[in-house]
Homo-oligomer: A and B are copies of this chain.
Amino acid sequence: SRSINLAVIPGDGIGQEVVAQGLKVLSAVLPQDVKLETKDFDFGARRYHATGETLTDADLDALKRHDAILLGAIGDPSVPSGVLERGFLLKLRFAFDHHVNLRPSKLLPGVATPLAGQPEIDFVVVREGTEGPYTGNGGTIRKGTEHEVATEVSVNTAFGVERVVRDAFARAQARPRKKLALIHKNNVLTFAGHLWTNVFNRVAGEFPEVTTEYMHVDAATIYLVTQPERFDVIVTDNLFGDIITDLAAAVSGGIGVAASGNINPSGEFPSMFEPVHGSAPDIAGQGKADPSATVLSVALLLRHLGYEPEAARIEDAVSADLAERVGQPARSTEEIGDALAVRVAG
């Protein structure tokens, strides 16, 4: 009999509320024969204030013993900027080698977009997750003086670029339109740009059916608002991916429905799934948060673990739920979770 051994990190702010709904829908969608075991981890601001710890070696050991991780949100204004980001979120991505950061953008029927018209948006961004300007390389001299110099080093390796580019080509190959865009800034960041462009062009030779294009990141932001329908799969660097996926979420229904996966394709470490939105402390504890992004992250999690029909059922349920919202009074986090649980079980 099958089983899923899931690490759950509710985290800060609305994280608790949305994760509860994600788990509710997960339980409802799983067939009887699948045994779901979950273990909660108390990472985030509370633990940091109580112990000074963000993510210890023992924590990593404990997390490692799971098939996957579901995360709500980490971050609170009471913690200095960067402490939980570098000390928890990025530490985990690097420790578990989550080099494929998968962020689908699909404008579902009936969902509001800030764009005029109702463009057809259905693309996925494959963001590199373990290199670029995110490595923490760099430093500061003469801190706090008028002679301070601070550097940030973007580190890019053929190994790291090639594996994520190959992953993106494979995803493009598997989609009907078979299109892949590389987004970078190779006319200015020429060292990293040449590496990305050369590797991209070389790997393209192995995927003759995939149509490719290259686009500067600045131009890409224009196309994301004027012609979002042109994109199918995008592969990009860690920082550019961070920026364009927030924009992509904004134009395709908002971060209330944006899901993501931090994937280790080899399976050596568990992959982690999380909504793109943060902890939203301003609305925490009020039952106002939309759990859809978390529920869609559960769908990505299930697909990653091989439960394709269940993943599709969740996506269909969220799509139907969103389509029926138009003109209806707002529901609470829990009401939306309940409605989705009923739909996926049905």
- Interface segment among A219-227, A260-268, A302-310: the answer is A219-227
CB-CB under 8 A from A116, the residues of chain B are: 113-116
- Interface segment among A9-17, A203-211, A241-249, A328-336: the answer is A241-249
- A27 contacts chain B at the CB level, 8 A cutoff: no
CB-CB under 8 A from A138, the residues of chain B are: 153-154, 189, 191-192
CB-CB under 8 A from A148, the residues of chain B are: 157-158, 195
- CB pairs A–B below 8 angstroms (11 shown): A86-B190, A113-B116, A136-B190, A138-B154, A150-B156, A151-B154, A152-B154, A152-B192, A218-B242, A222-B250, A225-B250
- Interface segment among A34-42, A54-62, A180-188: the answer is A180-188
Min Cβ gap A213→B in Å is: 14
Residue of B nearest to A132 (CB): B152
CB-CB under 8 A from A198, the residues of chain B are: 144
Partner of A243, one of B134, B146, B192, B243: B243
- With known contacts A114-B115, A147-B158, A218–B246 Cβ distance under 8 A: yes
Partner of A190, one of B82, B147, B251: B82
- With known contacts A148-B158, A149-B157, A158-B147, A247–B219 Cβ distance under 8 A: no
- With known contacts A113-B116, A242-B218, A151–B156 Cβ distance under 8 A: yes
CB-CB under 8 A from A152, the residues of chain B are: 133, 153-154, 156, 189, 191-192
CB-CB under 8 A from A142, the residues of chain B are: 158
CB-CB under 8 A from A154, the residues of chain B are: 133, 138, 151-154
Min Cβ gap A264→B in Å is: 20
CB-CB under 8 A from A81, the residues of chain B are: 186-187, 190, 193, 197
